[in-house]
Amino acid sequence: MRIRGLILAVFLSIAFVSSHPQQPQPPIPPPDPRFKADVLVIVAHPDDDTGVSTFLAKAVLDQGKRAAVIFTNRGSSGPDAVSMAHGKALADIREIEARKSLAARGITNVWFLDGRDTPTQDVLHSLETLGHGQALDDMVRLIRLTRPDVIVTWMPAYVAGENHGDHQASAVVAVEAFDMAGNPADFPEQLTSPRDPHGIGQYGEGLQPWQAKKLYFFSDASHQDFLKGHGPAYLASDISPSKKVPYSEINRLGWEQDATQIDFSQEVLGYFLDMPEYLVLGKSLVPAPVDGDVFDGITARPIPYHPDPPCTEARRTGISLALGGPWAFYRQFYRAHDLTSLEKLVPPQSALSSDHRLWVPLLLRNDTASDADITLHPALPPGWTGNTQDLLYHLKPGETYPVQLFYQAPGENYKAPPQTLTWTALDHSSAVGKVTLSVYLEFDGVPQ
């Protein structure tokens, strides 16, 4: 009886399935292939992409790679070499210029974030005006949309040269987004499947986590020898195999569209067209030589999310003195994002603002159990004025004093070597801390 019952149950279930055929469901749509990028360039202003113009020309025109560009702002500040347009009107013009410039070199996937063009050399001020949190949200979203294998951005470092704070801020957000886009716990609302894909009551963005494989930096430092050997170099004098002309001629196609930006002579333009490009390998999650081609080691296969190792801050003891402001931020930033190779790549340096004024933030710390009276002694080259006298600070146990110093340079001399400024912390005449800063006597009009 039991066997008969089992046979009857199987027969009835087969009959039920036969009379009620299964409904096949539609396949899950793949990510939109129109926006897939082999390389994503993340910069601050329209025309910043010209800092890697030769690399982009080789990648897109000769290697057949797909490139996309993100600008964190639309370039509303600075002079207009064509008209009286300024502010929002200038930003509208420069957005179109940037799109035309990139299209002339085969790049049409271009996005602009809502940051404000901020004339400053201080990355922390630029992050403030960019809207750090919203920009990071947007950047992670666009990485998940474009799914790049390689990300190229400005070097997150305080360097002598133009050294725009917005450049650094775009790099900071790019590094953070590189590390977050593959983590499903970061901005999870972007990964939520739409509740009702065919109705108006849907929510959820329907993206997928994405881990980029390589991260490269480039720099606008006026002294670039320190970049050599830390990544591939791209020379504008090389001939493009596909176009049969030097890359400098292809670079010109881009610059010709940036009319509002060309407020200088043809001789200066030639300098920008011909300058070599040195990339610095910040991270590679695939085996690849440091100085090899950007796409060495890259395959079409996605890689899993790669979390950074835990960051541990070295415990301080006694009295200490260190550079504050952007320099202090970068010390923490490099460790938090496993960029320790950058810690010694750029020695502490600065350049003057347009009024020859130098700002120096210092952090004086008392990590002892007792009150301390600390003397700060500056040692400056001849002719410098400002906070040149010894300064006395009283610090309670565990206290950090943010020292803000300002100096005036004796004059400008572009051919002079960098000048060395030193500050020593003295506890009862004993040196307990020392900071050295190299200052280049050059400026680009950006307020420090």
List the domains of the chain with CATH numbers.
34-192+208-284 (3.40.50.10320), 318-440 (2.60.40.10)
Q: Which two tokens stand for residue 292?
A: 């090899």
Give the model's pLDDT for residue 21. Answer: 75
Chain position carrying tokens 């000048």: 419
Measure the CA–CA gap between 150 and 281, rounded to whole angstroms: 11
Measure the CA–CA gap between 293 and 61, rounded to whole angstroms: 15
Angle formed by the axes of helices 87-103 and 247-255, nearest 10°: 150
Angle formed by the axes of helices 266-274 and 247-255, nearest 10°: 130
Give the model's pLDDT for residue 338. Answer: 95
Give the model's pLDDT for residue 18. Answer: 54
Closest CA to 190 of 175, 203, 177, 201: 203
Chain position carrying tokens 């704070």: 165
Using CA atoms of 171, 123, 77, 236 in order, give the dihedral in degrees to the nearest 10. -40
Measure the CA–CA gap between 175 and 223, rounded to whole angstroms: 23
- What are residue 376's DSSP bridge partners? 391, 425
Measure the CA–CA gap between 80 and 226, rounded to whole angstroms: 33
Strands 318-323, 357-367: pairing kind:
antiparallel
- Total-model pTM: 0.92
Q: Do the beta carbons of residue 435 and residue 422 sit within 8 Å?
A: yes
Q: Name residue 159's amino acid.
A: V
- From first to last of its 448 residues, what are the pLDDT tens digits of the chain? 556 655 555 554 555 555 667 889 888 889 999 999 999 999 999 999 999 999 999 999 999 999 999 999 999 988 899 999 999 999 999 999 999 999 999 999 999 999 999 988 899 999 999 999 999 999 999 999 999 999 999 999 999 887 799 999 999 999 999 999 999 999 999 999 888 767 777 788 999 999 999 999 999 888 888 999 999 999 999 999 999 999 999 999 999 999 998 888 888 889 889 999 999 999 999 999 999 999 999 999 999 999 988 887 778 889 999 999 999 999 999 999 999 889 889 899 988 776 778 999 999 999 999 999 999 999 999 989 999 999 999 999 999 999 999 999 887 665 578 899 999 999 998 999 999 999 988 765 666 6
Measure the CA–CA gap between 232 and 283, rounded to whole angstroms: 14
Q: Do the beta carbons of residue 158 and residue 327 sit within 8 Å?
A: yes
DSSP-assigned states of every residue in 421-445: EEEEEEETTEEEEEEEEEEES---S
Chain position carrying tokens 């502490």: 348
**Residues with Cβ < 8 Å from 131, sequence gap 6 or more?**
114, 115
Give the model's pLDDT for residue 47. Answer: 93
| Exposure b/e, 172-192, CB count within 10 A at least 16 = b | bbbbbbbbbbbeeebbeebbe
pLDDT digit string, tens, across residues 341-381: 898 898 999 887 767 789 999 999 999 999 999 999 999 99
Closest CA to 57 of 108, 106, 100: 106
Give the model's pLDDT for residue 283. Answer: 96
Measure the CA–CA gap between 70 and 139, rounded to whole angstroms: 8
How many beta carbons lie within 10 A of that of residue 278, not counting itself?
20
Closest CA to 55 of 69, 45, 35: 69
